[in-house]
């Protein structure tokens, strides 16, 4: 059983060399009465939050990884054996699993049975899994978008951002995205249908750029990056703006997070800023599926994935999130069905 283990806790930006591919053995049988499930992993999801589990942080919503043990994360898998009443052999599932070929899963709280297989299975690591729910909850539940509103999305070409932009268009909003390369800007405008997009690395005066692109101001900001971009957005808000604080990837690997200076705008614009953790909303997953599946089938929503091949390429794929190497949802293909 090949697996990716964390070598040691990291501080600052994670490197490929902080992880290690190694061989191990696993019993492919779930003990009776254990509620455990044995799976063959098919796709693994690379997600920015995993950096927190690679650090030894004292205050975080989930425990850090244990050095020497496989990294865990979301994935798509096939059940090989089950002692759990809700899962049986040959079921396809998505949820928390290990970065290894086969996993014995004892914690099945965040495991969902896959019932629709006419769409790519890897989608359950992205649009039909945790990142899809993140876009849906942050945009619809937290921001209550109205037709004609002005929406801005940062890290707009990623797993979550590309969906928020498309949801905004479906809702009849004007939407602008920022991303870190011209290739991504092109995708935003020509594949995902954003009205405008800009390369934040080439336009360092974010406040001026946002002013130009939003002469009337921003009603909804879907924040994936935090830091200076958030500060610039605060200076460009409309009255009663909503900010969904989904993530702050520009701050995750800094020893000292940057300060945010323009919070007074929240008062002046009577704005609302709300953070959230997607797993608190998983009870809404069936509602999301009902909305999104027809849109995928009718190609009203598209999804771009960046698929790395093989566990040996998983560490580089994960680290690449923090330099923007991924174009679309970063997935690792592990085993072919």
Residues that bind ligand NDP (CB under 6 A): 47-49, 131, 134, 155, 157-161, 179-181, 184, 224-225, 246-250, 276-278, 321-322, 324, 326, 329-330
Tell me the CB-side half-sphere exposure of residue 298, using CA atoms within 13 A.
6
Residue 327 CB, nearest distance to ligand NDP (Å)? 8
Residue 79 CB, nearest distance to ligand NDP (Å)? 25
Residue 314 CB, nearest distance to ligand NDP (Å)? 15
Q: What is the CA radius of gyration of the chain?
A: 20
Nearer to ligand NDP, 145 or 180 (CB): 180
Residue 136 CB, nearest distance to ligand NDP (Å)? 11
Nearer to ligand NDP, 98 or 132 (CB): 132
What is the maximum span of the chain, computed from C-alpha positions, in angstroms?
64
Report which of 190, 220, 200, 197 is spatially closest to residue 302, judged by C-alpha positions. Answer: 190
Nearer to ligand NDP, 224 or 236 (CB): 224
Nearer to ligand NDP, 145 or 165 (CB): 165
Residue 2 CB, nearest distance to ligand NDP (Å)? 25
- Residue at shortest CB range from ligand NDP: 158
Q: Write out the two tokens for 48.
A: 């920015």
List helix spans (H) across the chain: 50-54, 130-136, 142-143, 161-170, 182-190, 206-213, 227-234, 264-268, 285-297, 314-320
The rounded Cα 70 to chain-centroid distance in angstroms is 20
Nearer to ligand NDP, 184 or 242 (CB): 184
Residue 97 CB, nearest distance to ligand NDP (Å)? 17
Nearer to ligand NDP, 174 or 322 (CB): 322
Residue 248 CB, nearest distance to ligand NDP (Å)? 6
336 burial type by CB count under 10 A (0-12 exposed, 13-18 middle, 19+ buried) = exposed
Nearer to ligand NDP, 83 or 193 (CB): 193
DSSP 175-193: EEEEESSHHHHHHHHHTS-
- The SS3 call for residue 77 is strand
Q: Are 222 and 232 in contact (CB under 8 A)?
A: no
């Amino acid at each position: 059983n090949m697996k990716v283990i964390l070598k040691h806790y990291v501080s600052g930006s994670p490197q490929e060399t902080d992880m290690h591919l190694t061989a191990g053995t696993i019993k492919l049988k779930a003990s009776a009465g254990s509620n455990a499930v044995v799976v063959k992993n098919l796709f693994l999801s690379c997600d920015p939050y995993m950096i927190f589990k690679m650090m030894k942080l004292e205050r975080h919503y989930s425990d850090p990884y244990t050095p020497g043990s496989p990294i865990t994360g979301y994935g798509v898998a096939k059940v090989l054996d089950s002692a759990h009443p809700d899962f049986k052999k040959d079921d396809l599932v998505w949820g928390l699993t290990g970065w290894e070929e086969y996993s014995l899963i004892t914690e099945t709280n965040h495991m969902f049975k896959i019932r629709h297989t006419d769409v790519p299975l890897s989608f359950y690591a992205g649009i039909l899994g945790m990142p899809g729910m993140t876009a849906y909850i942050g945009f619809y539940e937290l921001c209550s978008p109205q037709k004609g509103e002005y929406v801005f999305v940062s890290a707009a070409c990623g797993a979550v951002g590309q969906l928020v932009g498309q949801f905004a268009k479906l809702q009849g909003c004007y939407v602008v995205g920022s991303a870190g390369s011209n290739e991504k800007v092109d995708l935003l405008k020509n594949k995902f249908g954003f009205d405008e997009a800009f390369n934040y690395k080439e336009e360092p005066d974010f406040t001026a750029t946002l002013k130009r692109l939003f002469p009337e101001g921003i009603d909804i900001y879907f924040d994936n990056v935090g830091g200076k971009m958030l500060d610039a957005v605060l200076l460009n808000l409309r009255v009663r703006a909503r900010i969904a604080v989904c993530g702050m990837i520009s701050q995750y690997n800094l020893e000292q997070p940057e300060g945010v200076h323009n919070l007074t705008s929240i008062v002046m614009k009577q704005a609302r800023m709300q953070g959230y953790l997607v797993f608190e909303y998983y009870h809404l997953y069936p509602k999301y599926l009902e909305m999104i599946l027809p849109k995928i089938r009718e190609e009203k929503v598209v999804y771009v994935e960046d698929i790395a091949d093989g566990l040996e390429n998983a560490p580089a794929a994960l680290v690449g999130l923090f330099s923007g190497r991924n174009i679309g949802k970063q997935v690792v293909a592990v085993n072919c069905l």
